[in-house]
Chain A
Amino acid sequence: MIRTLQDHDVHLGIDFFMEYTIVSLLKDGDRIAGAFGYDRERGRFHLFRAKAVVLATGGIGRAYKITSNSWEYTGDGHALAYHAGASLMDMEFVQFHPTGMIWPPSVRGILVTEGVRGEGGVLRNKDGRRFMFDDIPPAYANQTSNTEEEGWRYTQGDKNARRPPELLTRDHVARCIRREVREGRGSPHGGVFLDIAWIRDRIPNAAEHIKKKLPSMYHQFKQLADIDITVEPMEVGPTTHYMMGGVRVDPDSQMSDVPGLFAAGECGAGLHGANRLGGNSLSDLLVFGKRAGQYAACFAKENSFGTIHSSEVAEAEKQTLAPFEHNGTEGPYAVQQALQDMMQDLVGIVRQEKEMLLALDRIQEFKARAERVGVTGNREYNPGWHTAIDLNNLLTVSEMVTRAALERKESRGAHFRDDFPGKDDKFSSLNIVVRKGPAGEMQIRREPIPEMPLELKQIIEEMK
């Protein structure tokens, strides 16, 4: 899909700025006036005057040690919007995908698609037990099969069969895997077994079938782990995968509460509630990416350019170059890794107040360390420098996640609190909203969720 879009776009006369990083959004009064950044190749500064800006920066996976996300997912758009004064919401909802690769260590976190379970793959612990049958949440009991036989029929397209428990929501499967591992029933490298090879007992030519249905998974394991998934089970464990929280936007236009600032995809919030379902991210991008572009273009047509204040640009330049001024008492990678370890431990799949309060203290320490981060070399393609700059965004989003997670004193969707393991009705009608306060402090507020429009209620009724 990306290539098809690219193949088409190159003929449209659009300017592409590849390998550019935006470090600051510039404003004229309340509204967006432009963006300031640098190109990674030469390290030169660039100032973009803009009537409208669309954020499409993806998620925050790099705030965690184990993630399916690439190096770029440092919450840049989340942090840019926050500093520009936009509201963010649902930041406590971080999705941990149940099946990431866990061995060899170098591939830990890389995604193993839900498709494996969709094609009949099953989860087993070291004793060979399909532990997902042991804990089916009551709310899903009537949609979930209670026999292996029925689950198998579902994966083979039987419309009358109910789905196997392996296909329960991602947060639940991730927590079940965590439980098996913690209670000593995990696989040798600290995960559980995901087995698709077993379908050879059910269908002829199973190996060919698996290769045809899951070609990239077959190659991924063959090449990276020396494992033939048509013969042996995979070892998998939870991996940070998707951020439900982000910039609060108008659902029609995708505009944030900063005029001219739009957000689409993972860095926007609202569409996936507390827990995204498989496949919905792509639909989100197609529908709301298009809307963001359309409305941003309308906004740009209807408005004139704002004024860019040179003092703001000078300040952004100074901030961006700061790591070169320090004498390198701290390395950017060391601080980044320490932050990732801490977030994984204290604000991960299962959370509790005591640990999250500790996390806030640690974030303050990391902020102090980040101030001292120094880099060597020059500005040309210098990953150390880039990491030092991205680190500030990671710290900002880590703090947002932690504060929002502290505020939601219940368990809902991807957010699970050991100290509040159940849903609380009080929280069902409110979002946790994060905003930058006048003195630069991070404000956390509970705000009511607007009532669902009548036409949507009707659709839900009709679907029941």
Chain B
Amino acid sequence: MSTATFRIWRGAKGAGKFQDYTTEVSSGMVVLDAVHRIQAEQANNLAVRWNCKAGKCGSCSAEINGMPKLMCMTRLNSLPLEQPVTIEPMKAFPHVKDLVTDVSWNYSVKKSIAEFKPRPPDGPDGTWRMAQKDADRVQEFRKCIECFLCQDVCHVLRDHRMHDEFIGPRFLVYVAALEMNPLDVQDRIPTLRKQYGIGLCNITKCCTKVCPESITITDNAIIPLKERVVDRFFDPMTKLFRVFSGSPR
């Protein structure tokens, strides 16, 4: 059994400071185990949100040595333990206490997105038929565990704080899952352009890099949605057609 030092952000509502805790570590431990040990032995009131401890619920998001990660899936043997491991709350959301942030903005965004609206059932048995290829495409997006690490790393939200103009990668993935579902008849393309602010994404792919579910956020969700917006609003042939036909944009 050896020891390691964890430099954890302590404080409430944005104010606070790093505090060092040294604790025993053993083979196979993840960061969340160390946080729990510190909580049980040295700091009973250390606030941390967690649930499944198996990378499925998306609750224990934090910034470990500056990288947005799930604490439960970050093994200590992947970190240099000769120096303190820093653990901070996500920065893109309002701070609550210690490692806990207020992620409720995400829920209000989800509420604002028009829900799944299937076409009337047209299968012989009164349901629908869907090609496996289409199911697979949407299934990748449905893997999302809503850890919001992609939102945390996105510079539009993190640095520019444009939470009112941009829904962030998580919800572009969500919109992609709806838009690419062949049963869905709702049109979200105009909203994507205006209210959802898809143009603000300049495809730096940071979101894809931090996704613990390895969803190809930028390439498979955001870029195809951008293409749909461009096809609808900026295609020169369509534009020309609109000029002559007098149809509104």
Which positions in A face B, CB cutoff 8 Å?
Answer: 3, 7-8, 10-11, 16, 18, 41, 70-72, 103-107, 110, 216, 219-220, 223-225, 331-334, 337, 375-377, 380-385, 387
Specify which of A10, A18, A70, A331 is in contact with B52 (CB 8 Å cutoff): A70
- In the complex, what distance in Å separates the CA atom of A384 from the CA atom of B97? 14
How would residues 140 to 172 of chain B score, 1 for a CB under 8 Å from any chain A CB and 0 otherwise? 001010100000000000000000000000000
Contact at B55–A223, with CB atoms within 8 Å? yes
At the interface, yes or no: B245 with Cβ under 8 Å from chain A? no
List residues of chain B with CB within 8 A of the CB of A332. Answer: 44
- In the complex, what distance in Å separates the CA atom of A333 from the CA atom of B96? 23
Q: Distance in Å from the Cβ of A225 to the closest Cβ of chain B?
A: 7
- In the complex, what distance in Å separates the CA atom of A382 from the CA atom of B100? 11
* Interface pairs A-B: 4 shortest CB-CB: A104-B28, A384-B44, A377-B45, A381-B47
Contact at A380–B51, with CB atoms within 8 Å? no
Contact at B51–A70, with CB atoms within 8 Å? yes
How would residues 166 to 185 of chain B score, 1 for a CB under 8 Å from any chain A CB and 0 otherwise? 00000000000000000000
Q: Distance in Å from the Cβ of A172 to the closest Cβ of chain B?
A: 26
Specify which of A10, A41, A224, A377 is in contact with B30 (CB 8 Å cutoff): A224
List residues of chain A with CB within 8 A of the CB of B204. Answer: none
Contact at B28–A105, with CB atoms within 8 Å? yes
Contact at A333–B44, with CB atoms within 8 Å? yes
Contact at B111–A41, with CB atoms within 8 Å? no
Q: Distance in Å from the Cβ of B11 to the closest Cβ of chain A?
A: 11
**Sampled A-B contacts (11; CB under 8 Å):** A8-B116, A18-B104, A41-B96, A104-B29, A223-B75, A376-B45, A377-B45, A380-B96, A381-B96, A381-B100, A384-B45
List residues of chain B with CB within 8 A of the CB of A224. Answer: 28, 30, 54, 73, 75
Contact at B102–A375, with CB atoms within 8 Å? no
List residues of chain B with CB within 8 A of the CB of A8. Answer: 115-116
List residues of chain B with CB within 8 A of the CB of A71. Answer: 50-51
- In the complex, what distance in Å separates the CA atom of A385 from the CA atom of B43? 12
Contact at B111–A382, with CB atoms within 8 Å? no
Contact at A383–B54, with CB atoms within 8 Å? no
Q: Which chain B residue has the least Cβ–Cβ distance from A70? A: B51
Given the known inter-chain contacts A70-B51, A223-B55, please indicate yes or no for A383 contacting B73, CB distance below 8 A.
no
A-B contact count (CB 8 A): 94
Q: Which chain B residue has the least Cβ–Cβ distance from A111? A: B54
List residues of chain A with CB within 8 A of the CB of B115. Answer: 7-8, 11
Residue of A216, A223, A384, A387 with highest tally of chain B CB at under 10 A: A223
List residues of chain A with CB within 8 A of the CB of B44. Answer: 331-333, 375-377, 383-384, 387
Q: Which chain A residue has the least Cβ–Cβ distance from B116? A: A7
Contact at B47–A382, with CB atoms within 8 Å? yes
How would residues 32 to 48 of chain B score, 1 for a CB under 8 Å from any chain A CB and 0 otherwise? 01000001110011111
At the interface, yes or no: B107 with Cβ under 8 Å from chain A? yes
Contact at A110–B45, with CB atoms within 8 Å? no
Contact at B53–A70, with CB atoms within 8 Å? yes
Contact at A385–B111, with CB atoms within 8 Å? no
List residues of chain B with CB within 8 A of the CB of A220. Answer: 54-55
List CB contacts (< 8 Å) of B100-121 with chain A. 100, 102, 104, 107, 110-111, 115-116
List residues of chain A with CB within 8 A of the CB of B27. Answer: 104
Q: Which chain B residue has the least Cβ–Cβ distance from A225? A: B28
At the interface, yes or no: B26 with Cβ under 8 Å from chain A? yes
List residues of chain A with CB within 8 A of the CB of B206. Answer: none
- In the complex, what distance in Å separates the CA atom of A442 from the CA atom of B40? 31
Q: Which chain B residue has the least Cβ–Cβ distance from A387? A: B44
Contact at B46–A383, with CB atoms within 8 Å? yes
List residues of chain B with CB within 8 A of the CB of A72. Answer: 51
Contact at A383–B45, with CB atoms within 8 Å? yes
- In the complex, what distance in Å separates the CA atom of A103 from the CA atom of B50? 21
Contact at A10–B40, with CB atoms within 8 Å? no
Specify which of B26, B53, B102, B146 is in contact with A41 (CB 8 Å cutoff): B102
Given the known inter-chain contacts A7-B115, A10-B107, A70-B53, please indicate yes or no for A107 contacting B28, CB distance below 8 A.
yes
Contact at A110–B54, with CB atoms within 8 Å? yes
- In the complex, what distance in Å separates the CA atom of A376 from the CA atom of B27? 31
List residues of chain A with CB within 8 A of the CB of B28. Answer: 103-107, 224-225
Given the known inter-chain contacts A224-B73, A333-B39, please indicate yes or no for A7 contacting B45, CB distance below 8 A.
no
- In the complex, what distance in Å separates the CA atom of A23 from the CA atom of B138? 41
List residues of chain B with CB within 8 A of the CB of A41. Answer: 96, 100, 102
Contact at A10–B45, with CB atoms within 8 Å? no
At the interface, yes or no: B12 with Cβ under 8 Å from chain A? yes
List residues of chain A with CB within 8 A of the CB of B30. Answer: 106, 224
Contact at B26–A216, with CB atoms within 8 Å? no
Contact at A106–B55, with CB atoms within 8 Å? no
Specify which of A3, A334, A382 is in contact with B45 (CB 8 Å cutoff): A382
- In the complex, what distance in Å separates the CA atom of A106 from the CA atom of B24? 13
List residues of chain B with CB within 8 A of the CB of A7. Answer: 110, 115-116
List residues of chain B with CB within 8 A of the CB of A216. Answer: 56
Q: Distance in Å from the Cβ of B248 to the closest Cβ of chain A?
A: 29
List residues of chain B with CB within 8 A of the CB of A103. Answer: 28
